[in-house]
Amino acid sequence: MRNEKSTEEVARGIRARVFEHTIRNNGGYLSQACSAAEQLAFLYNEALNLGPSTMPMVPPPFSGVPSASNTGYVTGAGYNGPFDAVHDRLFIAPAHYALVAYACLIEVGRMAPEGLEMFNKDGSSVEMIGAEHSPGMEVHNGTLGIGLSTAAGLAWGRKRLGHAGRVCVFMSDGEVQEGQTWEAVQAAAHHGIDNLWAIMDVNRQQCDGAMDDVMTVGDIATKFRDFGAVVAECDAHDLPALRTAAATPHPGRPLIVLAHSRPTQGMESLMSRFPRLHYVRFKSEEERVRMNAEIAAELGVAPVPLEAH
C-alpha cells in the first residue's frame, strides 16, 4: 500500500504535527520527531510492505488489558495492516516515540487527526508510552531493549512458517546500553534470522542528556558487526541514503541500519535547550511563545494559536 504523499512530505507532516501537539500541550517528545521523522516516514511510506489498516480511523477507546475474560482484545497492530504471510511487521521498540509514530500514521492515512487529540487522555488507547493496544503497536516495548528479541522470535517463527513478510524494528540508540540488545543480536546471528532488520535512530541522546555524558557506548557499528549483524550506516535525514542502507544484502544475518540523526533537525531553535531534549516542556510561557514562533518559521507553518487552548 503506497500513500499519496512523498516520503519527504510525510516527514515534514510528522514534524509539524508533533510540533503543534507539543506547543499546545506545553510538552512532548518533540526532539524524537526531529531525529526520526524521515525514518518513520520511510518505513511506512515505502520500505515496509504493509496492507491497508484493519482498524477504524478514529482509535477505539481503551478496552481492557489482555485476560482470559477479555475475549475481544486486539492490539493496535491492525493499523499497520493485516497479519498474513506476505506483509511485513513493525515494532516500535522505543515506545516513547509513540507521539511521532501516531503523527506518522495520520500522515500516511492510517489514522484520523482526531486520534492525536486523544493522546494521553484518560480512557484513550492512544497512550503516551505506546502500549500494545495503541495505534500501530503490536507488543509492549516500554522497557527498552526487549523489542529486538521479540522481533527475532517472531522472525524465526515466520521463517519456519515460510512467510515472505519480514520483521522490522524501529530502535533507538540508547537501547545499546541494555545487555539484552546484544543478547538479541547474537541470537539472531546464531540462528541465521535474516528476515529481521532494524533501523536505529542514532541521535546520541537519552533521558538524562547526551549519551556520551550518561554512558559511553563506543563504536556501536563495530560492536553490532562483532555480535554477528550486518551493519549499514547513513545520514538519517538523507532519504536516498536511507534507501541504499536499507537495501544492504544480509543473507544469514540480521541487518541493523544505523541512521545517524540530529536531535534538532528541522527545529534548530531547540538547540537552546541542549542537552535537555528527551522530553520538551517549556520552562516559561515566554519560552513557549518564542519557540512557537521560531519553530513555526523553521517548519514553514503557522504558529499554533495558543489562546484557543
Partner 1 sequence: MDMVNRPYASAFEAYAVQHPEVLCLSADLTSSCEIDGFRDRHPEQFLSLGMAEQNMLSFAGGLGLAGFRPFLHSFGVFLYRRPYDQLMASIAYPRRKVRLMGFLPGVTTPGGMTHQAIEDISVMRTIPNMTVLEAGDATEVESIVAEADRVDGPVYCRILRGSVPRLFDTPLRIGRMRVLAEGDDVLVVTAGITTEEAIRARGALARAGVSVRHLHLNTLKPFDAAQIVDHAASVRHGVVTLENHLVVGGIGSMVAEALAEAGLARRLIRLGLQDTYAHGGSRPYLMRYYGMDALALVRAIEQLTGHATGIDEGALEAVRIEAVHSAVKAEAL
Q: Are 120 and 61 in contact (CB under 8 A)?
A: no
184 touches partner 1 (CB under 8 A): yes
Q: Which stretch binds partner 1 (CB under 8 A): 48-56, 108-116, 156-164, 268-276?
A: 156-164
Could you say which of 110, 140, 273, 288 contacts partner 1 (CB under 8 A)? 140
- CB-wise, 115 or 142, nearer to partner 1? 142
Q: Write down the least CB distance from residue 174 to partner 1, Å.
A: 16
Q: Write down the least CB distance from residue 247 to partner 1, Å.
A: 25
The 3 state secondary structure assigned to 25-84 is: HCCECHHHHHHHHHHHHHHHHHHCCCCCCCCCCCCCCCCCCCCCCCCCCCCHHHHHCCCC
Can you list the pairs that 65-69 forms with residues at least 24 positions away whose Cβ atoms lie under 8 Å? 65/133, 66/132
Could you say which of 44, 156, 170, 227 contacts partner 1 (CB under 8 A)? 156
- CB-wise, 100 or 144, nearer to partner 1? 144
176 touches partner 1 (CB under 8 A): no
Q: Write down the least CB distance from residue 258 to partner 1, Å.
A: 21
Residues between 54 and 113 with contacts to partner 1, criterion CB under 8 A: 65-68, 75
211 touches partner 1 (CB under 8 A): no
* Cell reading at 146: 526487549
- CB-wise, 149 or 265, nearer to partner 1? 149
Q: Are 230 and 254 in contact (CB under 8 A)?
A: yes
138 touches partner 1 (CB under 8 A): yes
Q: Which stretch binds partner 1 (CB under 8 A): 31-39, 136-144, 219-227, 293-301?
A: 136-144
CA 79/CA 76 separation, integer angstroms = 6
HSE-CB for 126 with a 13 A CA cutoff: 23
139 touches partner 1 (CB under 8 A): yes
* Cell reading at 265: 533537525
Could you say which of 134, 150, 206, 292 contacts partner 1 (CB under 8 A)? 150
Q: Are strands 89-92 and 230-235 parallel, antiparallel or unpaired?
A: unpaired
33 touches partner 1 (CB under 8 A): no
State whether residue 293 is helix, strand or coil: helix
Q: Are strands 209-210 and 255-260 parallel, antiparallel or unpaired?
A: unpaired
154 touches partner 1 (CB under 8 A): yes
Q: Which stretch binds partner 1 (CB under 8 A): 30-38, 175-183, 265-273, 289-297?
A: 175-183
For the purposes of burial, counting CB atoms within 10 Å of the CB of 204, is it exposed (0-12), middle (13-18) or buried (19 or more)?
A: middle
CA 117/CA 135 separation, integer angstroms = 13
Interface with partner 1 (CB under 8 A): 65-68, 75, 132, 138-143, 145-146, 149-158, 160-161, 179-180, 183-184, 186-187, 190-191
